Homo-oligomer: A and B are copies of this chain.
Amino acid sequence: MHSVSKSWLLLTGFIVFYVIYLLFGALVFSCIERPVEDQLRHDMEALKQEFLNLSCVNAASLERFLVKVLTANKYGVSVLKNSSVTSNWDLISSMFFANTLVTTVGYGHTTPLSDSGKAFSILYALIGVPFTMLVLTACVQRLMYPLVFAPVGLLQRSGLEPRSATAVHFLLLLVLVVLCFFVAPAAVFSTVEMSWSFLDGIYFCFISLCTIGLGDFVPGTQPGQKYRPLYQVTVMFYLFVGLMMMYLLLRTFHKMADLHGLTTFLQLPRCEESDLDEDREPIVDNQDEDQTRPYLTEKAASKPLEPGSQTSYNSINKG
């Protein structure tokens, strides 16, 4: 099969498997956690009713009541009237949880209640986290040409010196990412989520796309939101594409740092080799590879500056 088709087929396979893996996780989490959550929710309602029926509310009874309320709340079960209708472990919410696990965002607004849920979380993330990194890496690799190499080539052809071209390109990409993945979503979130300000939106986007995921702001958790499942799926999509763009930005920065001699100065690994791989036909026969590699590397390094080519970042003379 042609290597380009094979490469795209592999990527499509990755993405399909990623979605299936999320669905599988959602199903298992939902099956394990839903009954435990229902039981806890039921217990909390009974507890609340019991508390209301108390003839005399004293400090001790209130304390006992609050301990249980806060413990249940830690697991995402609220005693408030209007929050008891939505479950944290329906299929879409479970998928949202599975997604925050494998992307390592981990908001923690809902956490597994049962020991089997915790054990499954470990196993699920053990496979899911590296697999998600793999899918993200594969996607970013496919985006490097249209979003990095081609624009840098274009800037060079327009007369910019190579180093300046990469710096200008990085700045443009940064502005684009900030506008499309921070400012615009923050505006949307502050409109959709009643209690969020614009700063809250920016804060949520930043904390999420850095995979910090504090969980003080999580979209789609307020009661009575319309089209909640659709909204949650959109947020999951936003998170995935956003993480991809953050990774792309990081890789572009790494390449620019290489070119400006920053990685050499800080004695850190460079990321040039990967581009040679991108440029190269995939070699399944490993025997051939050792002979091919030095030749290709030498060729890339000695090649004259060719704007628009994929190796423009590497072949640029650093002087």
**Which residues from chain A sit less than 8 Å from chain B, CB to CB?**
7, 10, 48, 51-52, 54, 57-59, 62-63, 66-67, 69-70, 73-75, 78-81, 100-101, 104-108, 111-112, 115, 118-119, 121-122, 125-126, 129, 134, 137-138, 141, 197, 199-200, 202-203, 206-207, 210-216, 261, 264-274, 277-278, 282-284, 286-287, 289-290, 293-294, 297-298, 301-302, 317-319
Question: Can you add 18 more A-B contacts, CB < 8 Å, to A104-B211, A138-B266?
Answer: A7-B267, A10-B267, A63-B80, A66-B69, A70-B80, A74-B216, A106-B212, A106-B213, A115-B199, A122-B203, A129-B210, A137-B269, A261-B284, A264-B284, A287-B318, A290-B317, A294-B294, A298-B298
A141 touches B268 (CB 8 A): yes
A319 touches B134 (CB 8 A): no
Can you list 26 pairs linking A and B with CB atoms under 8 Å apart? A48-B62, A52-B58, A57-B57, A69-B69, A70-B73, A70-B78, A74-B216, A104-B104, A106-B213, A106-B215, A107-B108, A108-B215, A118-B200, A121-B207, A125-B212, A129-B212, A138-B266, A141-B267, A141-B269, A212-B213, A261-B284, A261-B286, A264-B283, A264-B286, A289-B318, A294-B301
What residues on B are CB-neighbors of A62 within 8 Å?
A: 48, 51-52
